[in-house]
Chain A
Amino acid sequence: MEKINSQEHLVIIGNGIAGVTLTQRVRQRSKCRITMVSAESPLHFSRTALMYVYMGHMRFQDIVPYADWYWQEQQIELVQDYVERVETRDKKLVLRDGAPLHYDKLVLATGSSATYYDWPGQTLKGVQGLVSLQDLELMEANTAGIQHAVIVGGGLIGVEMAEMLRSRGIAVTMLIRDKLYWHNVLPQQEARLVTDHIRQHGIELLLQEELQEILADDTGKVRGIRTRSGHELPCQFVGITTGVKPNVDFLKGSGIDLDRGILVNEFFETNQPHVYALSDCAQFRNPAPGQPMLEQLWYTGRLHAEALASTLLGDRQPYVRGPWFNSAKFFDIEYQTYGTVPAQFTEQQESLYWQNEAANKAIRFLYEKDTARLLGINLLGVRYRHDLCHHWLQQGYTLHEAMQELPAVNFDPELFQHYEEELLRQYYTRFPDQPPPGRHSNWWELRKRFGLFSDSTSC
């Protein structure tokens, strides 16, 4: 029986979004004892908001979504300690400071940390990634009074770090392996737009460039780097943002199967009974076709936890990701994506793309040439309704059907200029025979017609 009963003890290692969502969902429907163990921080905090603490938009206590009273009222025990090892035979956790902890069911949600690629000098003082609260504290210390920083890697954490450093007036150079920023994810035009925008914010981007080695001064601190092409850049800080790797080292010898991450099936079950793993630290043994083995995002952390909670509560459901979505922000430009928009399109794919003259807003609809089936939407500087985009992709809308409902999809604030007209002009040029958008395509009517809301209200 996988269903947890009320006498059992559920222990979760990690209090990130995955661990917290899991405890909340289980607590909603079970009286079992729940303990959350974290070495990082006594209370759950929003990892994606660490940058705002550094920039002074918020204090640390402001990025803590649930105050002490919440955990007390929910009867969820919080333990701040480091798990030295897991003894699956005795169902026991050995902690660094506290007494061993017995579990009936164990969920591993230990997250990830920055990946290093064995660069010479990578252990010098002033070299670091940015994932944990401790990384943030370290970054405060490492960047105090410095002039120049280098960031290795052109992904989302990289641009966040660049924004953080610029807020303190530190000159930033980013080394990016691709021809454009984030070009392994964004198509050419979006990547170009974002690349230019980042440059306008005073970040120096060295494209098609990689790190060769990090140079030390006499005291063991960073004094500069050398790139693959032989350039030497002086700097006092090196940010490593070339991706993250699962935190699984403490599980070696526990009998739990590991590869890069903790190996799990689509129910997040490991090879050991009553031990589960999810989110950043989990690796799917057999991912669905076209889906990654590791999903290391805030949103997927929450989705994993919702699926596993169902299983633990007796409703055994495999994890199905559903239409993909993600969002980010590059300085002033917000980014949203729904469905799949790859960096390179195949012969079979075609898209409608609109971009404004100031090059800070863009909309792309990707579809299949033959069937006109909608594949995905990319948005820069424009907000769309997630619920409606999800519905389009879930129901397998064609581009034509989506265009019928286009007037309902915009989520920008009131009084903002809308650009859907311009997109539609392009659309009707390409498909002159299509009828104009439906007259009853306003959001509230569609929401009602398709039932795009949930009644489980809590307020």
Chain B
Amino acid sequence: MHTALISETASTTSNTSQNVLKMAGLLLISIGLLGILVAAVGADYISPVFTGLGGTLVLTVGALVYIWQSRWHKSPAEQNHGRWHQEATSRGPSAWVIGFVLTGFYVLLYWFPDTLQGLIQATEPLSQWLRGRPSDQWFLYGTFYTLAILVMGVYALLKYRNSRYHIIRTISVMFFQLGFAFLLPGLLLMLNKPEYYFSYFWPLKYDYLFPGTIDYLVRDGAALGVFMVFWGAVFSFLATPVLTYFYGKRWYCSWVCGCGGLAETAGDPYRHLSDKSRKAWQWEVAILYPILGFVILTTLFLWVNSWSEGRLLGDLSGGFASTYGFFIGAMFSGVIGVGFYPLMGNRVWCRFGCPMAAYLGLLQKHFSRFRISTNGGQCISCGNCSTYCEMGIDVRWYAQQGEPIIRASCVGCGICAHVCPRGVLKLENGPREDRYAGSPLIRRDELRILS
């Protein structure tokens, strides 16, 4: 009894200091948000650089303090405690507010960027320092986006700290976002070179193989521009199939891609919200592959148009391109893709919309060594794997029958294997021979889930 009393007192003291630090973190977050608000609306009264950049800095520090305090003291197995009890992560009122605010922000960003003038001015010194040119709404967006991945990357690192796979993977997405999608494109502009994202490829970055873009890169970038065109084409048509053959789709979707980067970090608290029903899978297939088809068609039309100097198709191809840009590039990937995180999970875009994911998925399903193996007869059908699959795959369906999971949509994040309480799942690359064969230790059900 004595020892119990002592340990209880000790834990109370440490709880108090934890709570004080958490409160301090929340206070800093609030001050930061206020600063950003003042920068957005009060630019006439006080320098938006001071309130906006300063606010962002304070917000970052506060968020890191809070994340550290709330994650470090939780053991690895406790990290999902209360996920479905807390309203913010179970489509409660605050989830809707965050969803609406994010969606609204994207609407302003895409169609009313003038309303964000104060915030754009706030990032002016950063833009000048990095890119040597004035800030604009895309630079503002890139800054926030990168910060979100970095700060929430720390969250993911702490949450999954007992897994080397997740530590390395999280550092990878943080690195590619910061280096390849933020610093490098800025630096290129500083050097008066064309802005280019070496970590995005056609068909995700659909215009990288449009004749107009290639024309611009070669004209403005000279030798470097030629390299950029070469890089993009090699990655789209050579490196992507080869890497996917060896490692599956994950080499890109959960290690490199910026959309994936945001989903795996800032989106991680919402991963369980993805719909696992068969209906959702039917929607997925019905939307995703037509979009890939649309990108391919658009690209082909533009090339035909360019070769025929507009004689053959007139303005049709341009119409195709701008339609795609509006509905898919802006509406889907931004507004719905990120805005709906707290409501539909963190991979809405990747799952239902991304043409790159569709392309990688076809390769993964039919031309890859990757699979998720299940361990003999060890599955207890608990459902943690399916629940925490951000792509809405019913992982348990396969695991409880001792079958490997080979699905076009799997981005290989590895969280199913992490949350499994019996160690049943393992992401691995192996020979394609007998790739679909399951464990001999379970007799299987022959009903197909996908039909």
Residues of A within 8 A of B (CB): 17, 24-25, 28, 46, 48-49, 52, 55-59, 62-65, 67, 69-70, 73-74, 163, 167, 171, 173, 201-202, 204, 231, 298-299, 302, 306, 325, 327-329, 331-332, 334, 336, 383, 385-387, 389-390, 411-417, 443-444, 447-448, 451-459
Contact = CB atoms under 8 A, between A and B. Distances in A.
Contacts of A415: 164-165, 168
Contacts of A24: 445
Interface in B390-411: 396-398, 400-403, 406
B440 A453 contact: yes
Contacts of A25: 443
A65 B400 contact: yes
B84 A386 contact: no
28 contacts: A49-B381, A52-B384, A56-B84, A59-B84, A62-B387, A65-B400, A67-B277, A70-B447, A173-B4, A306-B443, A325-B378, A327-B378, A387-B439, A387-B440, A387-B441, A411-B423, A411-B426, A412-B426, A413-B164, A413-B414, A416-B164, A416-B165, A448-B434, A453-B439, A454-B402, A456-B446, A459-B403, A459-B449
Contacts of A416: 163-165
Contact of A386 (B8, B377, B418): B377
B175 to A, nearest CB: 16
B315 interface: no
B296 to A, nearest CB: 28
Contact of A454 (B81, B84, B437): B437
B438 interface: yes
Given A48-B380, A201-B75, A448-B434, A414 B445 contact: no
Residue with the greatest number of chain A CB neighbours at <10 A, chosen from B162, B381, B403, B422: B381
A65 B401 CA distance: 11
B78 A167 contact: yes
A458 B277 CA distance: 19
A57 B377 contact: no
B125 interface: no
Contacts of B75: 201, 331-332
Given A413-B165, A454-B444, A458-B446, 16 more contacts: A48-B381, A52-B383, A52-B384, A58-B382, A58-B387, A63-B381, A331-B75, A334-B423, A413-B163, A413-B426, A414-B427, A416-B164, A444-B431, A454-B437, A454-B439, A459-B398
Given A329-B77, A332-B77, A46 B439 contact: no
Nearest to A44: B381
Residue with the greatest number of chain B CB neighbours at <10 A, chosen from A52, A73, A416: A52
Contacts of A417: 164
Interface in B104-130: none
A56 B381 contact: no
Contacts of B436: 457, 459
B438 A457 contact: yes
B309 to A, nearest CB: 50
A416 B166 CA distance: 10
B164 A390 contact: no
B211 interface: no
Nearest to A332: B77
Interface in B74-105: 75-78, 80-86
B134 interface: no
Given A325-B377, A386-B377, A454-B438, A336 B423 contact: yes
A66 B375 CA distance: 21
Nearest to B405: A459
Interface in B347-392: 373, 375-378, 380-384, 386-387
A327 B383 contact: no
Contacts of B418: 413
Contacts of B78: 167
Interface of B: 1, 4, 7-8, 11, 75-78, 80-86, 162-165, 168, 272, 277-278, 373, 375-378, 380-384, 386-387, 396-398, 400-403, 406, 414, 417-419, 421-423, 426-428, 430-431, 433-434, 436-450
B90 to A, nearest CB: 8
A172 B379 CA distance: 29
Nearest to B422: A327
B428 A414 contact: yes
Contacts of B7: 202
B232 to A, nearest CB: 29
Contacts of B82: 55-56, 167
A299 B442 CA distance: 10
Nearest to B438: A454
B51 to A, nearest CB: 38
A298 B422 CA distance: 13
Contact of A57 (B4, B81, B440): B81
B163 to A, nearest CB: 6
Contacts of B8: 171
Given A167-B78, A413-B427, A458-B448, A57 B438 contact: no
A306 B402 CA distance: 14
Contact of A299 (B84, B377, B417): B377
Contacts of B382: 46, 48-49, 52, 58, 63
Residue with the greatest number of chain A CB neighbours at <10 A, chosen from B382, B428, B434: B382
B165 A334 contact: no
Nearest to B443: A306
A159 to B, nearest CB: 12
B381 A331 contact: no
A59 B390 CA distance: 16
Contacts of A443: 430
Residue with the greatest number of chain B CB neighbours at <10 A, chosen from A171, A383, A390: A383
A404 B380 CA distance: 31
A29 to B, nearest CB: 10
Nearest to B81: A167
A452 B421 contact: no
A46 B397 CA distance: 13
B448 A386 contact: no
A57 B387 contact: yes
Contact of A327 (B384, B401, B423): B423
Contact of A204 (B4, B162, B443): B4
A150 to B, nearest CB: 12
A58 B384 contact: yes
A328 B418 CA distance: 15
A56 B165 contact: no
- Identify the 5 closest CB pairs spanning chains A and B, nearest first: A386-B376, A49-B382, A453-B437, A383-B423, A56-B85
Contacts of A202: 7, 11
Contacts of A328: 422
A232 to B, nearest CB: 10
A58 B383 contact: yes
Contacts of A390: 376, 441
